[in-house]
């Protein structure tokens, strides 16, 4: 649905986006992440025809964004970080205005209007001026303008900014519904939102893509070793020493528990699952296992590692780093 090939965008000689190649298939919810200034908003602006690339090509549903810009815009719904709404128009008039801009056929206008009002929860504020609305409701109006023409592609830059927790859940549900039939690009700094919504994550840093995977794949792939957390009932004498002698165990570290139990972090080479061995050992030694599980790494940790730790001056580029992803 969306193809970027060796795309670069420069401002006064500084590359905001640096030779990026990216393929986004139809029906995918893509989380597009990066620190401030990483190039994600610039990339989205080029995809939506807001600005042209300095070099490289971008095609949307087979259409070139420079040569066929108007046709591309018809296929895209775009909500930038600052919702493009007119403060002195009523919500009702604004929706009518967007319907006209989008050239929605007359026989479809009433149905599209009704549908988008219900989906974005705007029924109670239709006759209020946009300038009188809370930030959350203005964001909903922005979402409405992005989706009112039923586009094949929806690009959302910080769509839940200013929303309360209940509204955030509603928008997440809406994004998941959109992802069943449309291509969705979601940019946000709320990593839990990406984890709950997206089927794929692309992380961009300093204008280049440094990771591309599922949320689960990113978390698993960024950990250099497998760590199993084990909690034993008190009385398991010499547990750390005995576990440390198991084949494939690199280290055993005690973890403070505060409740009298014995908590251990068992570290093994990446991919080594030691849980069955631990269970058999516990049976042999007559230990009582209260809890056992492989320790996961948070998406926040992964993001920090890819965008700060591995990009420090003098640090080697991450092994998974690539500006070409599929």
Query: Lowest-confidence range among 49-58, 86-95, 124-133, 292-301?
Result: 292-301
Q: Mark whether 44 and 102 lie in a shared domain.
A: yes
Indicate whether 65 belongs to any domain: yes
The torsion angles phi and psi of 99, rounded to 5 degrees, stand at -60, -45
Token digits for 45? 């602006």
Residue 321: per-residue pLDDT: 34
Rounded Cα gap, residues 74 and 66, in angstroms: 14
Indicate whether 311 belongs to any domain: no
What's the whole-number average pLDDT of the chain? 86
Helix axes 106-119, 91-101, angle to 10 degrees: 130
Q: Mark whether 121 and 230 lie in a shared domain.
A: no
Query: Lowest-confidence range among 177-181, 220-224, 280-284, 285-289?
Result: 220-224
**The pLDDT of residue 161 is above 80:** no
Q: Which residues span the domain enclosing 172?
A: 2-220
Q: Mark whether 139 and 6 lie in a shared domain.
A: yes
Q: Mark whether 262 and 147 lie in a shared domain.
A: no
Q: Cβ(212)–Cβ(321) under 8 Å? A: no
Q: Mark whether 32 and 159 lie in a shared domain.
A: yes
Q: Mark whether 198 and 243 lie in a shared domain.
A: no
Rounded Cα gap, residues 273 and 278, in angstroms: 10
* Share of residues in the chain with pLDDT > 90 (%): 53
Indicate whether 230 belongs to any domain: yes
Q: Cβ(203)–Cβ(186) under 8 Å? A: no
Report how many domains make up the chain. Answer: 2
Where does the pLDDT of residue 163 fall: very low under 50, low under 70, confident under 90, or very high at 90 and above?
A: confident
Q: Mark whether 49 and 106 lie in a shared domain.
A: yes
The torsion angles phi and psi of 318, rounded to 5 degrees, stand at -60, 145
Token digits for 90? 């009523």
| Ramachandran category for residue 271: left, alpha or beta (phi over 0 → left; psi -120 to 50 → alpha) | left
- State the average pLDDT over residues 294-301: 77
CA 273 to chain centre: 29
Q: Mark whether 242 and 134 lie in a shared domain.
A: no
Q: Mark whether 99 and 168 lie in a shared domain.
A: yes
Rounded Cα gap, residues 304 and 302, in angstroms: 5
pLDDT tens digits, 197-249:
898 999 999 999 998 988 877 876 655 677 889 999 988 888 999 999 999 89
Residue 224: per-residue pLDDT: 62
Residue 4: per-residue pLDDT: 95
């Amino acid at each position: 649905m969306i193809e970027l090939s060796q795309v670069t965008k420069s401002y006064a000689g500084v590359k905001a986006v640096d030779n990026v190649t990216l393929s986004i298939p139809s029906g995918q919810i893509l989380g597009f992440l990066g620190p401030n200034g990483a190039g994600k908003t610039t990339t989205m602006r080029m995809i939506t025809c807001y600005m042209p690339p300095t070099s490289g090509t971008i095609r949307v549903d087979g259409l070139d964004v420079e040569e066929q810009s108007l046709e591309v815009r018809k296929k895209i719904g775009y909500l930038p970080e600052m919702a493009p709404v007119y403060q002195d128009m009523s919500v009702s008039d604004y929706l009518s205005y967007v319907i006209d801009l989008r050239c929605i056929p007359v026989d479809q206008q009433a149905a599209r209007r009704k549908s988008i009002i219900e989906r974005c929860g705007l029924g109670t504020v239709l006759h209020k001026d946009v300038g009188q609305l809370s930030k959350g409701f203005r964001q909903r109006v922005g979402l409405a303008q992005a989706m009112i023409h039923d586009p094949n592609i929806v690009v959302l830059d910080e769509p839940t900014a200013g929303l309360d927790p209940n509204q955030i859940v509603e928008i997440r549900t809406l994004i998941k519904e959109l992802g069943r039939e449309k291509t969705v690009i979601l940019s946000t700094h709320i990593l839990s939102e990406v984890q709950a919504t997206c089927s794929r994550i692309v992380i961009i840093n300093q204008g280049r893509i440094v990771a591309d995977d599922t949320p689960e794949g990113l978390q698993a792939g960024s950990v250099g070793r497998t760590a199993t957390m084990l909690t034993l009932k008190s009385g398991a004498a010499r547990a750390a020493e005995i576990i440390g002698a198991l084949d494939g165990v690199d280290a055993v570290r005690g973890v403070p528990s505060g409740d009298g139990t014995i908590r251990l972090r068992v570290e093994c080479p990446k991919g080594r699952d030691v849980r069955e061995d631990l269970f058999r050992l516990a049976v042999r030694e007559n230990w009582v296992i209260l809890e056992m599980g492989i320790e996961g790494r948070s998406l926040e940790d992964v993001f920090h590692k890819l965008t700060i730790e591995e990009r420090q001056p003098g640090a080697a580029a991450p092994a998974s780093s690539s500006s070409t992803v599929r």
